[in-house]
Amino acid sequence: MRKWVSHDIDLCIGCNRCMEACPVTKKHITIADLNMATEPETEVPQNIIDFSFNCVQCGRCVPVCPAGARRDYMVLFIKYKLRAQKPGKYDKYIQIKDQDKRGFELMKQKLYTTYMKLKHRDLRQYMGSVPSENKEILFYPGCYINSPEVIRRTMKLLNFVGTPYNILGGLNTCCGIPHLLIGEFELAEKNMDLLHAKINRSTPKIVITGCAECFEALVRIKAKHKTEYDILTVTEFLLTHRDKFPKVRLRPNITLHDSCRITRRYNRGEAPRKAIEMFSKLVEMENSREKTLCCYYWNMGHDGANDKNRKKRLNEARGKSKTLACDCITCYEKYVGLDDGIEVIDILELFEEALDKEGGAR
């Protein structure tokens, strides 16, 4: 990372396009100061500390750079430099995801686990156990196992499709990407290695997930450990069985919120578009594909403008359609219920509605 950022600082021609594309709050930052603060051994001034903790690692600054520099990684390196002075909200997140809790914290975690297992009895077997039986598909919701509505919907659709699958949940575990986005590289590596070991117990052919961060973790694990399984989003997997779903029209039109990671970073934005076209007509927003805006989750609430930015995004969507579909669970959960003027849906709801309209999940 040190070599990488030094190389990118050398590439930078100071055009400021990265900062013009950047959607988070920043005050009085020059590229020269930003590049200086990115150098491994320099001090970081307060305005750049504030900006760095506002950065959501969305990557919107990357495609606009004429020199091919990765401003997102440069800011991530500043977060790494500042990891000892993380804001409380970042620290809290790390503590929630800590897998080596002791004493009172461990007791609190156990109480939470018991509560969730009692509350969602149908999902309790997936909340902490690691599947070992070999099945073709491994559905990895990770910590989103605590979003029961989304998990039940996904299971209903997988059951309909009929391919045998395991579920690897993790009420108190993490894929490692949140740690990475916070600048805790060692913890990120540790969590991804743990996840790799868990996946290996059931040797799946395809691992699927509905979370953009889990998707990135799986891609990184595959690259590091040269695993043989394929990685698909849940939408991509369902599209491989598209002929099984009823052909019904569910909305006059729908617009799509692209995820920073699935669409911009990995260029996998075609599946949600095809899914929308199965049941409706897609209307694109101006800020779509590589120009997409963030759900503003990954600064952990540090930027006071997060809600205002989300509402602005919903406003843009409302100008195109009465319905906004999200392909990533994090995006969906950050946008749903924020504005009464637009319906925000998890894209899997379209598949589910189509089944329900044709008489249930059969």
Q: Which is nearer to ligand SF4, 304 or 359 (CB)?
A: 304
Segment contacting ligand SF4 by CB under 6 A, of 12-20, 133-141, 178-186, 274-282 = 12-20
Q: Does 12 bind ligand SF4 (CB under 6 A)?
A: yes
Segment contacting ligand SF4 by CB under 6 A, of 7-15, 122-130, 223-231, 328-336 = 7-15
Q: Which residues in the 198-227 window bind ligand SF4 by CB under 6 A?
A: none
Q: Does 18 bind ligand SF4 (CB under 6 A)?
A: yes
Q: Does 13 bind ligand SF4 (CB under 6 A)?
A: yes
Question: SS3 letters for the chain?
Answer: CHHHHHHHHHHCCCCCHHHHHCCCCCCCCCHHHHHHHHCCCCCCCHHHHHHHHHCCCCCCCCCCCCCCCCHHHHHHHHHHHCHHHCCHHHHHHHHHHCCCCCHHHHHHHHHHHHHHHHHCHHHHHHCCCCCCCCCCEEEEEEHHHHCHHHHHHHHHHHHHHCCCEEEEECCCCCCCHHHHHHCCHHHHHHHHHHHHHHHHCCCCCEEEECCHHHHHHHHHHHHHHCCCCEEEEHHHHHHCCHHHCCCCCCCCCEEEECCHHHHHHCCCCHHHHHHHHHHCCEECCCCCHHHCCCCCCCCCCCCCCHHHHHHHHHHHHHCCCCEEEECCHHHHHHHCCCCCCCEEEECHHHHHHHHHHCCCCC
Q: Which is nearer to ligand SF4, 31 or 161 (CB)?
A: 31
Least Å distance, CB 317 to ligand SF4, is 20
The one among 4, 7, 10, 16 contacting ligand SF4 by CB under 6 A: 16
Segment contacting ligand SF4 by CB under 6 A, of 19-27, 173-181, 278-286, 335-343 = 19-27
Least Å distance, CB 14 to ligand SF4, is 5
Show the site string, 58-97: x = touches ligand SF4 by CB under 6 A, - = not: xxxx--xxxx-x-xx--x----------------------
Give me the residues that bind ligand SF4 (CB under 6 A), please.
Answer: 12-18, 21-22, 24, 31, 55-61, 64-67, 69, 71-72, 75
